[in-house]
Structure 1
């Protein structure tokens, strides 16, 4: 069997509903940090940050604004 043309090292993007997810985190006591509209690869879109137990900051970004 031949090797695949690429190797997946991990996941860096998943798609979720940003406003609902922010509410879900907040309802469980997870701090929602700096919610704002930000420019990204596909244009302007809402995002916020959370921190994992080790203090690593994770960006949660919604779809681009239309």
Structure 2
């Protein structure tokens, strides 16, 4: 089980990012909600996308 579950917060809305939330991983390995990305019209390079669970399983540094 990843140590970030239940502790990771979106930097734009400050809500806890849940396992099944749709997220983008942007530069610097930041995780933000997809809804926040579009709501704030952000123009950051998206490195990866999917649910938080998908991202955690793909990247070793979230383990």
The bucket for the TM-score relative to the shorter chain is under 0.3
Larger RCO (alpha carbons 8 Å, 6+ apart): 2
Structure-2-length-normalised TM-score: 0.27
Structure-1-length-normalised TM-score: 0.26
Q: Which has the larger radius of gyration?
A: 1
Give the strand-richer structure, 1 or 2.
1
